[in-house]
Structure 1
């Protein structure tokens, strides 16, 4: 299409030939379009005689594309704009080496038509035409044009800057919402990296004249730019903080709090008006809070955030939302009525609150902060979704509180806050709402992960009723809650009953009881979520060494995999393979004299190697692994093959030395040969026998040593990891497509097999 629109002859056909003259040149089969001359990149050295400058595109073709910009279908309109962007950048390829002045307007023919169309549309009295051009400019400056053609970018911007500025000053123009995105894309261009120039003055004007809702995306985008002038960056931050400043001022007497800002960018009355309106208050605050959360997630923010005042403003918003704050000012009362029980604002404010936990400056307000969080945790009016966000924010601030208490005399305050949080948690674990019980268990797990090494937390936790209530939820009627309870118990057990000095050892909450309950869930639970959680916890315990000595671990693993191999959920079976992989790795490290020393013998005869095979056979690992190779779910077979290839690499580090014929002639070898043929059938062998009836003893170390050496596991590995393309692109698949295209008429039937 580019060739036709730019007036170039299409490759493979003579330029200027009528269609009827070109038709005989077409042949059956896939077309191969070969250029007559080598096409070189503009930056490469080439013969100037081979360079063909783009010719002006036919006016009719370009007019069609210009018209399609206004197509009722958004997909068509967007595609037309993108096509114009590509045409413009494509026509400039031969002009990259041309030196341009700041006022140069000698555009190539095709580009000139597009630029003139943009200028005319911007000056049009038709609002749709203006919007189309602004969208086109935004796409253009956001594409490679803005970064690769800096000189042309500056030339184009100088031609349209006055018109863009006029749109900012005309408040009735409907195109104003598009200006923020346009200016942000222009700002990313290398042409405007300098701190001087009229462009940044226009950006400053936009921050002043756009509404707070329109200016917010522009402000946060500017703050992310590396080369934005510092004064513009400060002004952008001020735009984002204006709504938070208004909240803080509305909640306090004038002399009590000066607010966040010394001065505003735009008229404060505009922000006050938006916050006073029921329809716009929540939208403005949610947008502002989302932008602030993005800024707090940046590792390098080139402006200083007033974190203490911002935290104060967030607590004020949360108190407005739950009705715990009664402001005296008329504006504060109006905002409070607008925000009462506003879940959207509550969730956004709690997200920012959690992000502020990384800031050290907020330590002075930590007591007041936990008062607000505990009020939300205790309130029966807190919705389940808001409660989940409150738990997440509380967890992060508890970590910050522990860090703070370890460095100063905050110990008594920390212990009191932990006790209050655990009392609330006990009530929430008994909630009639399953979402609340589930969120409470997730919060408990998060606390244990972060605070398990803190003495105050362990003491408060183990002296509360949380352990008993969590264990009771293993029998919850809701499967999601049972799964979360399994995860919580799995993280509690190492500190509650596996540790030698555990204060609750000997109670009902002990190792044998917990292990029995989790194994029962793994074998009997009707839902997959709890069973997946159990196998994940078992793998975690194995990694952390919570399963005892090697003999105990061997028995534990054996019982688990005998349960898992019968499970109908492929993710549970996959988890079982991960458990086996961890067990193999740990056992090799324990039994090898030097786990990092390479094994030089192709057939190891040392005692550790024999003992390894005996341990693996007693645990019945090989029957599980070889059976999983034929699993009907591909990820299971792939993981099993990975484990077996790893074991083969340990026992046969160099190569397979056995003669396949000799192996097949031996009594055990005939079974191994059958095993190899069966494995090649893949998932067709779903009823894989593991009881030795076919001459394969999966618990015999010598047979398994022979199997690891004889079976071509690498070939199986390649086959299992092969994508489905080799099937879809096969001749059989092509014949099936042909049949589907022509129908199943008897005359056209062919045997695809």
Structure 2
């Protein structure tokens, strides 16, 4: 490669990476250096073809090679003496984002490696006194000075490249290096914060430094920078910084109090709450709230940050009920319920009908249910949520958020007669209308809400009575005929939940009707989602402690139809159903009576469980085969235990078509090898036909075989191992990478993808 003058860029890129990998070991490094290969490969100025450097994939490979090589002191010495550090620093501003990002990784790796070298040299006086040894502190300082100069630049792109390196270094460097780097960048960062630009990238720096010990060091002035950011001219950035401060465990209470003021201020200002911080500078905020776009952006940022902090349990000592009341007021403003009484009419007009603020407010209202004191505000919260559910032109996504918030508020307390009355007389009639909405998203969201509400209030006799009195079951049955597959799937799930969460399971006629519908969906529905949902309903019923008499007549049909489905997820769910049936029968296997064991096995055979498992083991979809293999191994374990006590000879009928042929061929192969444990066939005509090479795929019939011996013949452990290996073991290998590179090199069109 060093002598070739017609090198292809792709092959050269690979050679650069290979050289770096080889040079990672000291002996290899010495050989490559002595032969001049190392100097040639990593000195672009000496390449026979200078144009190669213009290729992004070559520059990327050059960096990868360096990164791999920098594993020992000799490589670090070579890197510094050849001035390669300057070349890497120049690539920080490369037009390729992949290369710029890779540059930061190489520089951080270099600094960490030099720190290790410095510590090692300090322990060895001879090395430390060597006149030829490099000043590693100076080498590291060169990188840090470069970063400081970048942050002080007038070019925004240069500043951003410096900030990105600081973030990576603070995340990956050792603590001593972080301290040195911070001393270099603190002053230019302070200037950038005061100037008020690039606040979001600076937030990334503050977030990184807050996770280190520098945060609690007063000399590092991290909290001072954060406080300056809290009162940025861009209020959105101030809110982001406030959220960051409140997530930190080590920040001072004073800083946290100021962060809370900043975080809540937009919400409290819009709703004219008396909780607004006194003396707070609101001029920037008032200016931002006076314009529609910035007003919406600021409010959504504030609301979503509060909700996120509540979910992370990062908000403490806040006036919960007052905040909740403000959110309820904001929701009323957004739906036009408070326009006439709101003092901030201009701001209110910006928010009326705004979906973004409505969604964020509903999310926050739902999150606030984690505070127990909000039980007293249940009536007010449900009142405003009911307003949203009653709105005829509400956006579908907002309605979904209203459903989610309603569920959370119903879950925080026991169902009172008043709440039950609200569900029966207000919510259920609205849901009936929404199920008939012209938008499928609304119908789907409504059915999901019915299912989730039923699950949330499971066990409530009052809810069960209200559900039946409102005839919601008829609404769900009607939705099974919906033209949209997602809606049919949601209707199936809602019906399944209704039967397990209420006393509908006592009605045999309703059970039979639903089983008929579900089987019809499994057999005829053209879309996957309803069929998946149908099998899941049978699984939930089987897991339920309730008695479903209709299952006895239906389950074998479900297994047969589900295992023949075109969708792999339907087949996996069918196998899960088969696994549950095996679990319920597994207790019988521990008994010593042959009659009990055979009865359990016969029950599974009659239901078609064995047929499903043996068929799915040869399925073309890996997850299906893997699931079937796991269940068959479990079955074989049970049978081994029973066979050890003398119970064996249980037979199954294997069809001589499709998957059955594969099993019979496996049995024949084992028989021909003389394996004493293999299945022995008789001299029947069907057996002779199966052993004939002229047997065609359509020559159907059955063969009775011992179940345990069939499971031994299949070599399930080997199958499970091969199935557990995903496609990565084939695709993500050195051989496949070489094949990809050679294939790309043979193409006429140049490969310009720099992330290759």
Asked if TM exceeds 0.5, the reply is yes
Cα RMSD (Å) of the superposition?
A: 4.0
User: Are 1:165 and 2:166 matched, yes or no?
Assistant: no
- Unaligned residue ranges in structure 2 (runs of 5+): 1-15, 42-68, 123-134, 649-673, 748-756
CA distance in 2, matches of 1:20, 1:11: 8
Deviation at 1:53, TM superposition (A): 7.9
Q: Tell me whether 1:321 sits opposite 2:334 in the alignment.
A: yes
Q: Deviations for 1:286-345, whole angstroms, at most 9, x for unmatched residues?
A: 11122112101114x363232212212222222222211115566x11111111221111
Kindly state the Cα deviation for residue 575 of structure 1 after the two structures are TM-superposed: 1.5
Counterpart-to-counterpart distance in 1, 2:735 and 2:110 = 41
Distance 1:431 1:669 in 2: 64
Moved more, 186-195 or 358-367: 186-195
- State the secondary structure of the residue aligned to 1:510: helix
Distance 1:450 1:341 in 2: 30
Describe the shift of the 1:207–1:615 C-alpha distance in structure 2 as closer, same or farther (beyond 3 A). Answer: same
Separation in 1, partners of 2:182, 2:417? 61
Give the alignment of 1:295-694 within 5 angstroms. Answer: 295-299=309-313, 301=314, 303-328=316-341, 332-402=344-414, 410-495=416-501, 498-500=504-506, 505=507, 510-546=510-546, 548=548, 553-589=551-587, 591=588, 606-653=594-641, 660-661=675-676, 663-667=678-682, 693-694=701-702
Contact 2:296–2:357, Cα closer than 8 Å, also in 1: yes
- Determine the C-alpha separation between the residues in 1 that align with 2:709 and 2:37: 70
Query: Counterpart in 2 of 1:89?
Result: 112
- Whether contact under 8 Å (1:55, 1:109) holds in the other structure is no
Partner of residue 30, structure 1: none
Q: 1 CA distance for matches of 2:685 and 2:337? A: 80
Alignment CA distance shift 1:482-1:22 (3 Å): closer
Does the CA-based 8 Å contact 1:244-1:260 persist in structure 2?
A: no
Change over 3 Å in CA distance of 1:523–1:109 after alignment to 2: same
Task: Tell me the equivalent position of 2:231.
Answer: 208
Q: Distance in 1 between matches of 2:479 and 2:150?
A: 66
1:233/1:608 CA distance change after superposition, 3 Å: same
Question: Does structure 1 retain, via aligned residues, the 8 Å contact 2:586–2:638?
Answer: no
Establish whether residue 62 from structure 1 lines up as the match of residue 85 from structure 2.
yes
2:229·2:237 contact (CA, 8 Å) conserved in 1? no
2:717 to 714, 718, 727: 714
Distance (Å, rounded) in 1 between the aligned partners of 2:76 and 2:722: 51
Task: Map Cα deviations across residues 635-673 of structure 1 (whole Å, 9 max, x no partner).
Answer: 212111111111111110399999943754452999999
TM-score by length of 1: 0.78
Contact 2:581–2:604 (8 Å) recurs in 1: no
Distance 1:668 1:217 in 2: 81
Counterparts of 1:468 and 1:339, CA distance in 2? 39
Q: Which residue of 1 aligns with 2:145?
A: 116
Q: Which residue of 1 aligns with 2:215?
A: 192
Greater CA drift, 410-419 or 348-357: 410-419
Partner of 2:172: 144
Distance 1:561 1:543 in 2: 16
- Change in Cα spacing, 1:687 to 1:619, as seen in structure 2 (3 Å) is farther
Q: Does 1:153 align with 2:178?
A: yes
Q: Deviation at 1:469?
A: 0.9
Structure number with the bigger relative contact order (C-alpha 8 A, sep ≥ 6) is 2
Task: Write the mapping of 1:210-359 to structure 2, written as runs, cut at 5 A.
Answer: 211-249=234-272, 257-264=273-280, 267-299=281-313, 301=314, 303-328=316-341, 332-359=344-371
C-alpha contact 1:434 1:478 (8 A) present in aligned 2: yes
Q: Which digits, 9 at most, give the CA deviation of each residue in 1:266-289, with x for residues without a partner?
A: x21211211111121111111112
1:558–1:619 Cα contact (<8 Å) kept: yes
Q: State the secondary structure of the residue aligned to 1:695.
A: strand
1:562 & 1:158 partners in 2: Cα distance? 71
CA separation of 1:428 and 1:58: change in aligned 2, threshold 3 A: same
Please say if residues 376 and 390 of structure 1, whose CA atoms lie closer than 8 Å, have aligned partners that are also in contact: yes
Aligned to 1:13: 31
Deviation at 1:528, TM superposition (A): 1.7
Could you say what secondary structure the match of 2:31 adopts?
coil
Q: How many equivalent pairs are there?
A: 660
**Quick check: 387-396 or 518-527, which moved more?**
518-527
**TM-aligned CA deviation for residue 544 of structure 1:** 1.0
| 8 A Cα contact 2:214 2:220, kept in partner | no
Task: Classify 1:513/1:694 alpha carbon distance in 2 versus 1 (closer, same or farther; 3 Å).
Answer: closer
Change (3 A) 1:156 1:22: closer
Q: 1:229 to 1:60 in 2, by over 3 A?
A: same
| 1: CA distance, partners of 2:271 / 2:734 | 71
The 1-side partners of 2:200 and 2:734 are apart by 54
* Secondary structure of 1:475 counterpart: coil
Aligned-pair distance for 1:719? Answer: 3.4
- 1:604-663, CA deviations, whole angstroms, 9 ceiling, x for partnerless residues? 762221111211222222222211111122221211111111111111039999994375
Shift of residue 78, structure 1, vs aligned partner: 3.0
SS at match of 1:161: helix
Residues 410-435 of structure 1 show CA distances to partners (whole Å, capped at 9, x for unaligned) of: 53355335532222112212222221
**What per-residue deviation string (whole Å, max 9, x for no partner) do you get for residues 426-485 of structure 1?**
221222222111111000000111102112211211110311111111111111111111
Q: Is the 8 A contact 1:438 1:484 kept in 2?
A: yes
Q: Which residue of 1 aligns with 2:63?
A: none
